[in-house]
Structures are given as structure tokens and as C-alpha cells.
């Protein structure tokens, strides 16, 4: 790439990454009419838990790595100065608590060393935790190579290679890439040729049972559902399209704002379709929702947007949020009489309303 066009490319990437962060901080970007449907899942209060709060153990393992709480910091960012600070604060907090994190799409890191540093800061700040690399399905369709994937993994000493599937984002994103052929085949290739496990996630529109079965067949080692009910990337791109006066994209952002499979339904459908570890994400906003996710069969939950503002501030601010999630989970376990996550996986629950309909009809 000629120097000036490379510089221009880097500038565009940094601007886009900052746009995403600033829009998520300043504008309403959460689902409007659709919710996760965890509100339709009811756990049974146990007035005789017969355990002490302090004996509750929330630890677990995910892809061979120990987590003190079944919680992952969801993929967010990298590729800009503000993103570097965010990744540092997130990683330091994750290291202190003993949970994992996934960095944002790393394509930017391949262009330039200073951009790579906005991702590798996560590993420098958190030497011992699980960290996931990240690239998008559209890049795979464009022929993203196994060598490039290996570079991303070594850039951050990653323990897993995450691929995000985001056709609904790409179609609304002003500079989105709507070539989405041969992604499954590419995923299969990565599964065979890179040494770390491949994990596939959505970005908030939800993975279906059918898609998850294809991914399992391709060799993927875990699936993160990233369903609807939390951050809407149609909303995020809607604001960018409006700013750029791209009227059709703006209209599509509005129309598909609430598009997607609600998270609790996606989790149920994926669990039913595969025998892989499944991560519950998209609109996870409390420890109680982590508890519900585990009861519905998730190995972990992941949360992104609720940590963003705190991550622009400090490690301590992120820890306040994470500790609230952890305490909420532990409180739910106390009220269910569960000493550990295996016991939580066995609790009975009732589903009502729309969640019940999703479960009965698919
Ligand atoms: C600021 C921001 C940036 C994001 N960037 C990425 C990304 O680069 N790659 C990715 O896989 N997901 C990305 N996501 C999506 C999240 O990982 C997650 O799937 C989605 O936000 C739903 O979770 P939430 O409701 O807890 O935010 C991003 C989310 C936010 C809020």
C-alpha cells in the first residue's frame, strides 16, 4: 500500500472505531421494543437454602481456562487511542477478578504497529487471563488468510480466535461489506489450521439453532449467541448513516433496530442444537441474568456495553461493575440454595409468555 493511502486507511479506521465508542456512550443504542426474554424465565425462591453465603463457589472453566465468575468481558474495541485506554482498564480489571475478555475486531491491528498496540495492551495488562482474538465474517469472505489469523492471535497472545458474524451490521454500516459468501468454509479452514480454539459469536442479532449446528460441524469449539435485547448494532450504524446523509441506510437502521433472536431464546435454541460450550450474551445486565443463563445451560455469560463507560474511566470503575455482576450471581445462587454452578445448572425454572412460545415453536 502506498504511504498516503495507508495513512488514509488508518485514519478512517481510527475514526470509525471512535465513532462506535462515542455513539455507544452518548446515544440510545439499546433494543427498543424487544428484550432478552430472560424476564420470561422464573427461578424458584428457596426459603431453606441450607448453605452459607460464603461457601458459594462461582468458579468454572471455559475452554480449559479457569474463571472465578462465569463472565466474559464481551468484544468491544481496539484501533484508536481511546480504545487503548478502554482495553487497558478492562484487562486490568479482568486480571484482578480472574475472568476473561475478548478484544474488538483486530483488522486495524494488521495495518500498523501503533494500532496493534491498542490491542496488545490487553495482554500486557493481563498476563494470566483468557483473551480472545477477533475478526469479522466479512473479512473471511474476502479471503482473510490463515497466516493473518495467526498474526492476530500472536499480537495479543490469544487463547482463542473469535469470529463475529454480523451481516445485519454490515448492511447498515455506511462502509459495510455485504459480500458474505464462503464464510462457513473459511471458518472450517481456521478450525483446522490454527492452534487455538475457534469461537463464533454474533454482535447482538443472535445465532440460531441451524447456524450453530453448521458451526459445530465446521469444527468450532464454542458459540457465543450475542442475541437481541441489549446493544443494537443496527442502532449504532443508524446514527453514523444519518450523520453521513445515507438515507437508505438510515432507514434500514431504523427498520432493523430490533432485529434478531432474543438472547434467552437464542441460548435455548443453540443449546438444543449443539453439544459445545455456549456463551450467553446480548443484553446481559445483571448477575441475576447470569444465573438464569447458567440455569438455561450456558457455560458463561458475556457483557459488553454496561462496561464501556467505566472502561473509559479506570480499572477501579470497571471492577465496581464486575463486582456487582458477581455479587448478583452469588445472591441468586444463595436464594436458590446452590453451592456451585453445577447445582445452578440443575435448578428448575418456569418459562412464560414469549420465551415459552419461542421454545414451543422452534
Ligand atoms: C462499543 C462496542 C463495540 C463493539 N465492537 C465489537 C467488535 O469489534 N467485535 C465484536 O465481535 N463485537 C463487538 N461488539 C458487540 C459486543 O461484543 C456484543 O456482542 C454486543 O454489544 C451485545 O452485548 P451487550 O448487549 O452486552 O452490549 C461491540 C459492542 C460495543 C458496545
Give dist(CA 284, CA 282) in Å, integer.
6
Whether CATH 3.20.20.70 fits 16-361 = yes
Contact 339, 56 (CB under 8 A): yes
- Say how many Å lie between the CA of residue 74 and the centre of ligand 1: 6
pLDDT at position 268 is 98
pLDDT at position 3 is 63
pTM of the model: 0.97
Question: b vs e for 116-155, b when ≥16 Cβ sit within 10 Å of the residue's Cβ?
Answer: bebbbbbbebbeebbbbbbbbbbbbbeebeeeebbebbeb
Ligand 1 atom 17, closest CA: 75
Residue 83 has a CB neighbour count (10 Å cut-off) of 26
CA–chain centroid gap for 79, Å, is 18
Give dist(CA 205, CA 259) in Å, integer.
6
- Say how many Å lie between the CA of residue 31 and the centre of ligand 1: 13
Give dist(CA 222, CA 239) in Å, integer.
32
- Say how many Å lie between the CA of residue 235 and the centre of ligand 1: 12
Ligand 1 atom 3, closest CA: 76
Three-state DSSP class for residue 47: coil
Ligand 1 atom 2, closest CA: 76
Three-state DSSP class for residue 72: strand
pLDDT at position 2 is 54
Ligand 1 atom 10, closest CA: 75
> Helices 315-336 & 287-295, crossing angle to 10 degrees?
50
- Say how many Å lie between the CA of residue 304 and the centre of ligand 1: 6
Domain definitions of the chain by residue range = 16-361
Three-state DSSP class for residue 221: coil
Q: Read out DSSP for 260-327?
A: S-BHHHHHHHHHHH--S-EEEESS--SHHHHHHHHHTT-SEEEE-HHHHHHHHH-HHHHHHHHHHHHH
pLDDT profile of the chain (362 residues), mean per 10: 73 89 98 96 98 98 98 96 97 98 94 91 98 97 95 98 98 95 97 98 98 98 98 98 97 98 98 98 98 98 98 98 98 98 98 98 95
- Say how many Å lie between the CA of residue 46 and the centre of ligand 1: 35
Nearest ligand 1 atom, CA 74: 17
Q: What share of the chain is helix, strand, coil (3-state, %, to 5)?
A: 55, 15, 35
Give dist(CA 107, CA 320) in Å, integer.
31
CA proximity to 70, closest of 98, 51, 48, 46:
98
Contact 73, 90 (CB under 8 A): yes
pLDDT at position 60 is 98
Ligand 1 cavity residues, CB under 6 Å:
20-21, 24, 74-77, 104-105, 134, 164, 201, 203-204, 226, 230-231, 281-284, 303-305, 308
Give dist(CA 10, CA 22) in Å, integer.
18
Contact 117, 79 (CB under 8 A): no
Give dist(CA 344, CA 292) in Å, integer.
9
Specify which residues 42 forms β-bridges with: 350
- 231 DSSP 8-state letter: B
Q: Are strands 300-303 and 160-164 parallel, antiparallel or unpaired?
A: unpaired
Nearest ligand 1 atom, CA 284: 26
Three-state DSSP class for residue 169: helix
Amino acid at each position: 500500500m502506498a504511504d498516503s493511502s495507508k495513512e488514509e486507511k488508518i485514519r478512517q479506521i481510527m475514526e470509525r472505531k471512535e465513532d462506535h465508542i462515542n455513539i455507544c456512550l452518548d446515544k440510545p443504542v439499546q433494543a427498543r421494543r424487544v428484550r432478552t426474554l430472560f424476564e420470561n424465565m422464573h427461578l424458584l425462591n428457596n426459603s431453606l437454602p441450607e448453605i452459607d453465603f460464603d461457601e458459594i463457589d462461582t468458579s468454572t472453566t471455559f475452554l480449559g481456562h479457569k474463571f472465578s465468575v462465569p463472565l466474559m468481558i464481551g468484544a468491544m474495541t481496539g484501533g484508536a487511542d481511546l480504545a487503548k485506554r478502554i482495553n487497558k482498564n478492562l484487562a486490568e480489571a479482568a486480571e484482578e477478578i480472574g475472568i476473561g475478555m475478548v478484544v474488538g475486531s483486530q483488522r486495524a491491528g494488521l495495518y500498523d504497529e501503533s494500532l496493534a498496540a491498542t490491542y496488545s495492551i490487553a495482554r500486557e495488562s493481563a498476563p494470566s487471563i483468557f483473551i480472545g482474538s477477533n475478526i469479522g465474517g466479512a473479512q473471511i469472505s474476502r479471503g482473510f488468510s490463515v497466516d493473518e489469523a495467526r498474526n492476530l492471535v500472536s499480537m495479543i497472545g490469544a487463547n482463542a480466535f473469535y469470529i463475529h458474524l454480523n451481516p445485519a451490521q454490515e448492511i447498515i454500516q455506511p462502509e459495510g461489506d455485504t459480500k458474505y459468501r464462503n464464510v462457513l468454509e473459511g471458518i472450517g479452514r481456521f478450525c483446522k489450521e490454527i492452534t487455538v480454539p475457534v469461537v463464533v459469536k454474533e454482535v447482538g442479532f443472535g445465532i440460531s439453532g441451524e447456524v450453530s449446528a453448521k458451526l459445530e460441524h465446521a469444527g468450532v469449539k464454542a458459540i457465543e449467541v450475542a442475541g437481541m435485547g441489549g446493544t443494537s448494532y443496527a442502532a449504532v450504524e443508524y446514527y453514523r448513516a444519518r450523520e453521513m446523509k445515507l438515507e437508505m441506510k438510515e432507514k434500514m437502521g431504523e427498520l432493523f433496530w430490533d432485529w434478531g433472536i432474543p438472547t434467552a431464546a437464542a441460548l435455548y435454541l443453540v443449546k438444543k442444537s449443539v453439544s459445545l460450550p455456549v456463551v450467553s450474551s446480548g443484553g446481559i445486565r445483571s448477575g441475576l441474568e447470569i444465573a438464569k443463563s447458567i440455569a438455561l445451560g450456558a457455560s458463561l455469560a458475556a457483557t459488553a456495553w454496561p462496561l464501556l463507560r467505566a472502561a473509559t474511566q479506570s480499572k477501579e470503575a470497571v471492577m465496581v461493575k464486575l463486582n456487582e455482576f458477581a455479587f448478583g450471581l452469588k445472591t441468586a445462587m444463595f436464594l436458590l440454595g446452590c453451592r456451585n454452578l453445577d447445582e445452578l445448572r440443575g435448578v428448575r425454572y418456569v418459562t412464560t409468555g414469549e420465551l415459552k412460545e419461542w421454545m414451543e415453536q422452534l
